[in-house]
Amino acid sequence: TYNKAHSKIMTAGTNTMNTNEPSNNDLTTSSPSDVRAWLSKNHPKQFALLDSFEMELRLGRLSTSSTAVARDSSSSSLSHSAQYHAKDRRLVTGRTVELLRSLIGSTRWKNAAQLMMLLKGLGRELHSAGGFREPAIGNVVRRIMCAVRDEVNTAAADVVGGSDSGSGDDMEQIDELQESVPKRGGGGAAAAAAAGGRFSLASMLWAHPQHVNSSSTTSTGRRTIRSDSISSEGGGVTTAGGGGGGEQFPPAFYSHKPELRQGIMEAIQEIMSDLEDLHKNINEQAANHIHAGEVILTYARSKTVELFLKAAAAKKRKFQVVVCEGAPHFGGHSMAKSLAEAGIETTVIHDSATFAIMARVNKVILPAHAVLANGGLIAPSGSNMVALAAKQNSVPVVIVTGMFKLCPMYPHEGQDTLNDLVSPSSVVDYSMMSDSVISKVEFINPVHDYLTPNLINLYVTNIGTYQPSYVYRLLAEYYHSEDWESFE
């Protein structure tokens, strides 16, 4: 059944490509320059929207993260940025989703392959325009790319499920797969034989590609299922534009599916709904994590943490909040003022007093700039100090964040991962550099800190609460592994 269905998909994809040869108006690569040229020639209105969005992104007008605040060194602009930072980062994410909805809904792409190239090119373009400072932009593009793959795979699965579903060849194919399992000291195959020839977890484990015999045929001369699957990766992938430098996708991506556009638009609408209900879904969990009489410590200012604490206070929970001021930008001052106005007993402390007061704290609640693939966290600069003090005093650290900040990235660069260095003028005055001693000091002013997973106890998200060790499962649900490094 698998072989017949696979051949049917291959034939359908081949026929579609033969009848729909790429024309001059078709998008054939995911190069940002080619995507811009294609939009400029065929869709000038959508190209103007993209150009306007990129201009705002390059000028920093869309950045509501801590990077934007850190880049404003003067007191007047800092006050404006602090007010702008009070808005949450859903703004730039929502704008990105609206832009992608307009581009996908209004442009004339013909199949899933062209749509994937369009999305990949847009992701690279936005990343180079400043999206590397706002990882949520790339996350949204990856999520839509995953939705495209799901739609194509679902259609292909329907073809497989509807072709000869009741055939008697199924048991024969299972026998072939059992025969392809290598005998590793009597391990996997012997276990299957001991079970009366039936499958077991052990036999299925040794059926993985790296344990299968390299020969493509069995002792009887028949090709095995696993061998067919492996060989199809090389022979079943087609190059866009007829080969020669184009993007490679399976044949199913080149077949015309009229319902694909509607399915992708529904996926985009689902993303918009998640963003709109994000704070509501997070705040509903506040009473489960904040209890009466507790002392909560938080760092600097975060709209998500602020609303989370206010939601707990609205449920008649009496607790105290200790806010670290978050020098040198002192976002903790405005955070404390906002919480006090909501009737929450609030105390502001110097960042250097964090370790001294940690023994009196019941729980630490921190915001997130990005959640990494290993369960680690990118947070405002100074958060690592708070987390280390909490670890030393066995105080649980809870991260409050939306799932749109989940990034398929590993911290290979340590503290430099997704970090940005800004002018040290907010830390030291340039007039002091004339001093013979200070002039020899190297000042580094990072915007973010990287927190290792062992410093974090729990993530509170808009879809539930998870431990850092579960993040890899969430990545599989939100993004496809082939799209993780699409914009690097």
pLDDT digits (tens, 9 = 90+) for 226-281: 333 333 334 455 555 443 345 788 889 998 888 999 999 999 999 999 999 999 99
Whole-number Å distance between alpha carbons of 287 and 466: 16
3 state SS of 339 = helix
Predicted local confidence at residue 81, as pLDDT: 39
Instruction: Please answer whether residues 362 and 312 qualify as being in contact, where contact means their C-beta atoms are separated by less than 8 angstroms.
Output: no
Give dist(CA 312, CA 425) in Å, integer.
38
DSSP-assigned beta bridge partners for residue 370:
378
The mean pLDDT of the chain is 80
Q: Of all residues in the chain, what percent are helix, strand and coil, respectively (each to 5)?
A: 55, 10, 35
For residue 69, how many C-alpha atoms fall within 13 Å in the half-sphere facing its CB? 26
Maximum separation of any 2 CA atoms in the chain, in Å: 87
Query: 215 — phi, psi (to 5°)?
Result: -65, 140
Q: Is 185 helix (H, G, I), strand (E, B) or coil?
A: coil
Q: What per-residue confidence (pLDDT) applies to 220?
A: 38
Could you tell me which of 137, 88, 141 has the C-alpha nearest to residue 276? Answer: 88
Quote the pLDDT of residue 329.
87
Burial class (CB in 10 A: 0-12, 13-18, 19+), 404: buried
Structure tokens at 453: 């997973």
Instruction: Return the HEC string of 102-140.
Output: HHHHHCCCCCHHHHHHHHHHHHHHHHHCCHHHCHHHHHH
398: closest CA among 326, 461, 320, 325?
461
CB-CB neighbours of 318 under 10 Å? 13
400 three-state secondary structure: strand
Tell me which residues of the chain have a pLDDT lower than 70. 1-24, 63-88, 160-246
Phi and psi torsions of 272, nearest 5°: -60, -40
Q: Over the stretch 300-341, which tens digit does the pLDDT of each residue have?
A: 999 999 999 999 999 989 999 999 999 888 999 999 999 999
Phi first, then psi: what are they for 450, rounded to 5°? -105, 125
Angle between helices 32-42 and 112-128 (to 10 degrees): 110
* Inter-residue contact 304 to 365 (CB < 8 Å): no
pLDDT at 63: 61
Q: Is the dihedral of CA 465, 466, 471, 474 positive or negative?
A: negative
Strand 345-349 vs strand 320-324: parallel, antiparallel, or unpaired?
Answer: parallel
Q: What is the pLDDT of residue 3?
A: 52
241-271 core/surface letters (b: 16 or more CB in 10 A; e: else): beeeebbebbbbbbbebeebeebbeebbeeb
Give the CB-side neighbour count of residue 113, counting CA atoms within 13 A: 26
User: Please, which residues have CB within 8 angstroms of residue 368's CB and are 6 or more apart in sequence?
Assistant: 377, 378, 379, 399, 400, 401, 405
Tokens of 5: 């269905």
pLDDT of residue 209: 43
What is residue 65's DSSP assignment?
S
